[in-house]
Amino acid sequence: MATETGTATIIDGKAFASTLVTRVGAAVERLVQSHNVKPGLAVVIVGEDPASQLYVRNKGETTLKAGMRSDTHRLPEDTTQEQLLALIDQLNADDGIHGILVQLPLPQHIDANAVLDAISPDKDVDGFHVVNAGRLAVGQDGLVPCTPLGCLMLLKDQLGDLSGLNAVIVGRSNIVGKPMAQLLLGESCTVTIAHSRTKDLPALCRTADILVAAVGRPEMIKGDWVKPGATVIDVGINRVPSKDPVKAAEGKTRVVGDVAFDEAAAVAGKITPVPGGVGPMTIACLLVNTYTAACRTIGVQPDDLLAR
Ligand code: NDP
């Protein structure tokens, strides 16, 4: 799903994600009919952070749209770690719940790693559990973090076979950069992971047939860092002041990626925009993971959701 511009093809992640949610919905319907199993996702949020509340609401609505069960557990800011762990235990034991997501960030008095590690790896639809990181590293079936999974789906949709392509991933976080590298290695790309200590990053980026930016620095990757015809996937979500000085003075912001879009689009073959590129794929892949987790509990092979 993409539109042509002057040079690069703009990869429309929003449209792809919407189609994917519809496909998951159809697969869910088949699962309910064939096995009487309705995938269920439990989202846990602690505290009142407005951005987190919005994310959780969106997740709940999209889950219901795909015909799944959606439970949201809203806990007060002063919830103790023990209370949260008790809820996770309860959800781990609930056969109607196939996916558990704890919205981050958690309040400071709670050890986020202890909570994430308490989620059963088979219900860990965020794919953050160390067991799932290990499964991905050794090529076993597990649950893969949603954002890199979404990037991979876009890449396969756009490029088909990725084998032999040079991929450079800028960023080595556990939730984006590292799993992205593992996934592309699994597709037989030649993968390089760059980070803040990498020398001559522009030259390295220019070697990439696939360039993935997951840095968190607004428009850091410039047009002349991009190899002509490359596919650029911009994961970054950065808030910067509005272009309109009056609005900027009022504190209004806009969202940009880690790639200087206009410059890069003049050189790249294909590029994701921000917003409307990778972002919408993250929630869609959360549903993919919940559906996959539900299929595995009953030993059913999940449908190929990329198949037309
Ligand atoms: P992290 O802060 O965890 O990691 C950032 C990475 O970028 C680190 O590996 C860091 O290197 C590297 N880095 C920082 N500065 C430079 C530099 N100057 N040159 C090269 N590398 C650098 O971020 P995340 O991976 O969590 O997120 C990255 C971006 O993706 C953010 O903008 C985030 O908002 C966005 N995001 C978007 C999602 C979506 O749904 N679209 C989901 C998740 C994240 P080092 O390790 O050496 O410090």
Are 236 and 215 in contact, with CB atoms under 8 Å apart? yes
200 catalytic residue (yes or no): no
Ligand 1, atom 18, residue with closest C-alpha: 196
Three-state SS string across 170-184, please? ECCCCCCHHHHHHHH
**Amino acid (one-letter) located at 158:** Q
CATH architecture for residues 145-281 = 3-Layer(aba) Sandwich (3.40)
Are 306 and 289 in contact, with CB atoms under 8 Å apart? no
Q: State the Cα–Cα distance between residues 10 and 1, nearest whole angstrom.
A: 9
C-beta of 42 in contact with ligand 1 (< 6 A)? no
Per-residue pLDDT at 103: 96
Distance in Å, CA 135 to ligand 1 centroid: 23
CA 143, 196, 9, 14 dihedral sign is positive
**Amino acid (one-letter) located at 130:** V
Which is the catalytic residue, given 59, 178, 227, 270?
59
pLDDT along the chain (308 residues), means of 10: 70 97 96 97 96 94 97 97 98 98 97 97 97 96 97 98 98 97 98 98 98 98 98 97 96 97 98 97 97 96 76
Domain ranges of the chain: 35-120, 145-281
141 catalytic residue (yes or no): no
Distance in Å, CA 239 to ligand 1 centroid: 14
Comparing C-alpha atoms, which of 154, 160, 146 is closest to residue 16? 154
Ligand 1, atom 5, residue with closest C-alpha: 215
C-beta of 199 in contact with ligand 1 (< 6 A)? no
CATH of segment(s) 35-120? 3.40.50.10860
Distance in Å, CA 201 to ligand 1 centroid: 15
Ligand 1, atom 22, residue with closest C-alpha: 196
Per-residue pLDDT at 4: 52
C-beta of 177 in contact with ligand 1 (< 6 A)? yes
Q: State the Cα–Cα distance between residues 160 and 152, nearest whole angstrom.
A: 10
103 catalytic residue (yes or no): yes
Atom of ligand 1 nearest to the CA of 238: 32
Question: Quick check: do 35-120 and 145-281 share a fold?
Answer: yes
Buried b (16+ CB within 10 A) or exposed e, 184-223: beebebbbbbbeeeeeebeebbbebbbbbbbbeebbbbee
C-beta of 259 in contact with ligand 1 (< 6 A)? no
Per-residue pLDDT at 7: 85
Which is the catalytic residue, given 12, 122, 126, 209?
126
C-beta of 217 in contact with ligand 1 (< 6 A)? yes
Cα distances (angstroms) measured from residue 93 to each of 21, 33, 298, 300: 27, 24, 15, 20
Tokens 């756009």 — which residue?
158
Q: How far is CA 151 from the centre of its chain?
A: 7
C-beta of 169 in contact with ligand 1 (< 6 A)? no
Distance in Å, CA 41 to ligand 1 centroid: 27
C-beta of 149 in contact with ligand 1 (< 6 A)? no
Looking at the DSSP bridge assignments, the partners of residue 192 are 168
